[in-house]
Structure 1
Amino acid sequence: MKNQKYIPVDCGFYDNLEAFATTRKTVAINYLDTEYKKTIQQNIKVRDLETKNGEEFMIFEVVENTEAKNVKIRLDRLIDIDGIEVPRDSDSCSI
């Protein structure tokens, strides 16, 4: 499923992600694994957002066993963050 066509996220939702990256507060997140089959739940700190080749990504920090680990996911794998569900079938930001 790594070649799945990217589906941009809602522009308003992207604004929320930018706010989380700015405040760096710990938030709960649910997202799909790379096969888009299994839901992963973690507490994270959003570090950065980036766009590459027309796809948007979020880089976040997960603390596991007292060690920080950076993870990068495509935004269309997100289900929700901090209790805010990703809107589907809505206007995306132009990339």
Structure 2
Amino acid sequence: MKKLLSLTALGLALTLGAGAHAAEDAKAPTKQQSKMATCNKDAGDMKGDERKAFMKTCLSNKPATQQDKMKTCNADAKAKTLKGDERKAFMSECLKK
């Protein structure tokens, strides 16, 4: 009888612990996690130092300068091999963000 009671108590404790852990995992992402996800998405196909610089600027609390935006948009346009009116339209939209 004591063993049955002990096993029941252990099972209950494990169930409650697992439920609390699942609830913890289901929490909404923090502000920093959301910001990181957005910056990763915006970085797109950037690589190396360019990506590192972009992420540093994006994750900082300071808004990006026009020069930073221009660098990022130019890199994106180059990666997409845009030319002429297509590039012009893309740059216009990119710089508005």
- TM beyond 0.5: no
More helix by share: 2
More strand as a share of residues: 1
- Length-normalised TM-score, structure 1: 0.27
Q: Kindly indicate whether structure 1 or structure 2 has the higher relative contact order, using CA contacts under 8 Å at least 6 residues apart.
A: 1
